[in-house]
Chains A and B, each alone.
Chain A
Amino acid sequence: MPLKCHFPVPFRYWIVLLMFCSTTITAEPATQTTSTTASLDKEIQSLKQDVLALNRELFILEEELLYPASTQVAVFLSLDIGEFFSLDSVQLKIDDKEVSNYLYTPREVQALHQGGVQRLYMGNLKAGEHELVAIFTGQGPNGREYRRGASHIVTKTLGARFIELKIVDNDSSEQPDFSIKEWE
């Protein structure tokens, strides 16, 4: 005898399937799985924290070993607005010797636009005066190729020296400004 179908056939099976899956089959294993997942999650949290602590310790060790404060110099880069300049790369020279030539990914440029500050270079300098030259390459106003340099004399003393390369929009000239600032 044929069965009568009063409503859409595919819908008809859903309730049976849902009830089946949510109670009969998965009830018991679900408890075990949840408990395993929870303990594994705790283990992963603990492991992550241990590796984070290790990284913290190792970065500090590396800094003290390779860049002691008496000779340490760190160069950072920041962007402010950046409407008139789209950054591609930065070349950094200290005392006429290239120490960094960095090519940026779109994700990194975006992070700089949002207010992030990149540590471009970390190295050692003897006490005394040194010339720092940064050459910025990218696209300037109207999408033209743009290459500009900025220089600065750093007087290295006994403490660590932090230098910031800043790319700032100059609204009056509608051009980017490149400046170098020393942090105390």
Chain B
Amino acid sequence: MPVIARTRLLLLLLLLLLIGITRTLAAADAPPSSVKDLQYGEVLYYYFQQDYFDSIVRLQIAQQQQRLPNHATEAELMLGGLDLSYGLRDEANRIFQRLLSEETSDVSTRNRAWFYLAKISWQRGDIDAALQAIERVQGSMTAATRTAAINLHSLLLLQQGNNKAAIGLLQDARSGRGWTPFLNYNLGIGLIRDQQQQQGAKQLDRIGDSRGRTEELRLLRDKANLALGYSYLQNDSPEMARKTLERVRLEGPLSNRALLGTGWADAESENYPAALVPWLELSSRDSTDPAVQESLLAIPYAMTKMNLHGRAVEHYNDGIRQLIEERQKLDQSISAIRQGGLLDLLQQHDLGAGNGWMQQLHLDSDAPALRYQLALMSSHDFQEAVKNYRDLLVLQANLSAWKGDIAAYDDMLAGRQARFERHRPAAQQALQGTRLQTLQQRHAALAENLVHIETTGDAAGLANPEEARQWQQLTTIGEQLARLPDNPDTAVLRDKQQRLRGILVWQFQADYKSRLWQSRKQLAELDTLLARSQQGIGSLQQADLSAPSGFGDFNRRIAANRARIENLSTQTGATLLAQGKQLEHLAINELEQQQQRVDAYIIQARFALAQTYDNALQQPAAEGGVQ
């Protein structure tokens, strides 16, 4: 195989290696879900929806309100991890460094902190620092932490070019459940990069021949087959390459590259008719894919080799036409991006979709500004720029919502203040007056009276107002009759007075028990009412009625935060503009590179077309001569 092709294959292998490891790292970071504090569970609720912003806010609030007594260290580690997921690498770094500086941190905490620090350095592109950190992960640890650490460590060693160390690490690894295929994939790539083709092929072949129970595993299987297939091509084993590449799913995301490789495997075996089968299939697919564009040249190349010069000329011409159209579409896309089309589309998407936001973009691939998004998204810088842009849009929406809320709080507080002013005179009167004291004295007298009635059995003391009036009247009459001289008329009157008094006494005695019970009940109710009144007065006494401090504090906080919202909104707007420009710059840069490639293909195709004419002229009698 030519040197040129080898170079390309190495690049492809490296790309595949990076994709595989990045995906698996994300799966290693799930926190424990056992909840001992409600608010920690609330943080997890947002975390599991990949809503890192709300997770961080809820976690910080719970920490400030001291509502995470059972998850203190866990929460700190989680906050660092959340900060990292949300792109706050510097803050995450500070948290993990702090955790490591605390003498109380246990081995497990320290291991996880070192792991995250390694990840931060890796994201920053500082491989040496990342390696220094990951090497500090040692001692006993959970299977998840151990496997995630091995995975990252092996990636770092491979990036450093230390393939042998990576292989040693992966061969000794005891992986957690479900991780074996991913680590084996890395091992296979490592072995191939270390020129241990046979052993590497064995590892990748095992994955490439697996059933693939989940979509993630099926994708890994495709990657293994693609990487192995291209490595066979590189090592001049086209037959093995073809067999391996044919295992890649025809409708999967890697199928285009697999079809291209399958064609080259057949071409390497000089079986050009067979090579045409995958290439012709490939040429009918989405022409924005470089593999499809390459097939447009590969097809006539095979036909030339088959001496079908006439058909080759047709395909070259057709390919050139398609590539020129592609060139024009790229122009349209660049122009649409320059006119703000890309940013408009990004702004139209539902910001609440979390990480699914990125996937939603594919729905709009017909729009010129997003036609080449698959190519754009394969660039890490572009992906990061889109994520940042989306995060800034979320910040902008968040600040805008708070603007409305803070105005409502202002109104609410003003309403409360007005209500307070209305009720203040009555409250002050209640505090200054002696009404409660008088009521308490009356209550005490009533209670004393009831005790007296109970101990003396004075049933008349429980008379109702009418009976009391009658009793009083009879007593007065009795006193008046006592002053009258004794005679028969007086005797009749005295007798009548005694009888009426007797009836009343009988009534008192008959109702005594129920009246006593009623009176006790009413006294108890009075007791409760007085206690509540006392409590109310107590609260009023605690409140500063002349100048309540609560309102002043709220007013100050609302005003300060309103100013912060305004300030941050301005800053976010400016940063959003700058990030938008950056995003457009990256997109245009990428598309211009694509244009250069398409231009190169066009030149190459024209050159090959001329060459084909030349060949045909030299072989006029050949079957495929130019008509």
Interface residues of A (CB under 8 A from B): 2-3, 5-18, 20-21, 33, 36-37, 40-45, 47-52, 54-62, 64-66, 76, 78, 107-108, 110-112, 114-119, 162, 164, 183
Contact = CB atoms under 8 A, between A and B. Distances in A.
Contacts of B56: 52
A62 B561 CA distance: 12
Interface in B555-608: 557-558, 561, 564-565, 568, 571-572, 575, 578-579, 582, 585-586, 593, 596-597, 600-601, 604, 607-608
B409 A59 contact: no
B87 A33 contact: no
A116 B41 contact: yes
B611 A3 contact: yes
A54 B42 contact: no
B49 interface: yes
A13 B608 CA distance: 12
Contacts of A6: 2
10 contacts: A7-B2, A17-B596, A40-B575, A41-B87, A47-B395, A47-B571, A52-B57, A57-B557, A59-B57, A107-B49
A56 B64 contact: yes
B298 A108 contact: no
Given A55-B398, A111-B44, A116-B47, A11 B8 contact: yes
Contacts of A36: 582
B46 interface: yes
A47 to B, nearest CB: 6
B44 A55 contact: no
Interface in B226-274: 264, 267
Interface stretch (B30-38, B156-164, B195-203, B327-335): B30-38
Given A10-B301, A11-B5, A55-B398, 6 more contacts: A15-B7, A16-B600, A78-B41, A111-B46, A116-B45, A164-B38
A80 to B, nearest CB: 10
Given A7-B5, A40-B575, A51 B395 contact: yes
Interface stretch (B146-154, B399-407, B446-454): B399-407
B35 A117 contact: yes
A115 B409 CA distance: 34
Contacts, number: 198
Contacts of B64: 56, 60
Q: Which of A3, A33, A64, A107 is the most central at the interface, judged by chain B CB atoms within 10 Å of its CB?
A: A107
Q: How large is the interface on B (under 10, 10 to 19, 20 to 34, 35 or more residues)?
A: 35 or more
A62 B409 contact: yes
A47 B572 contact: yes
Contacts of A7: 1-2, 4-5
Closest 5 CB pairs of A and B: A115-B33, A117-B41, A116-B45, A111-B48, A2-B614
B339 to A, nearest CB: 22
B350 interface: no
Nearest to A2: B614
B61 A59 contact: yes
A155 B84 CA distance: 42
A179 B332 CA distance: 61
Given A8-B267, A17-B597, A65-B554, A37 B413 contact: no
B402 to A, nearest CB: 6
Nearest to A183: B38
A51 B596 CA distance: 42
Interface stretch (B88-96, B113-121, B429-437, B506-514): B88-96
Contacts of B572: 47, 51
Interface string B17-52: 000000000000000011100101110111111000
A107 B565 CA distance: 30
B224 interface: no
Contacts of A16: 600
Contact of A62 (B44, B405, B575): B405
Contacts of B564: 50, 54
Given A11-B8, A62-B409, A55 B45 contact: no
A115 B34 contact: yes
Contacts of B392: 44, 47
B297 A111 contact: no
B86 interface: yes
A119 B596 CA distance: 54
B557 A61 contact: yes
A48 B48 contact: no
B90 A112 contact: no
B615 interface: yes
A40 B48 contact: no
Nearest to B592: A25
B388 interface: yes
Contacts of A56: 57, 60-61, 64
B222 interface: no
A45 B578 contact: no
A76 B40 CA distance: 12
B620 interface: no
A51 B399 contact: yes
Contacts of B49: 107-108, 110-111, 116
B579 A40 contact: yes
B289 interface: no
B42 A115 contact: no
Contacts of B471: none
Contacts of A45: 87-91
Interface in B95-148: none
B136 to A, nearest CB: 25
A65 B607 CA distance: 76
Contacts of A162: 38
Contact of A118 (B45, B53, B405, B575): B45
Nearest to B613: A2
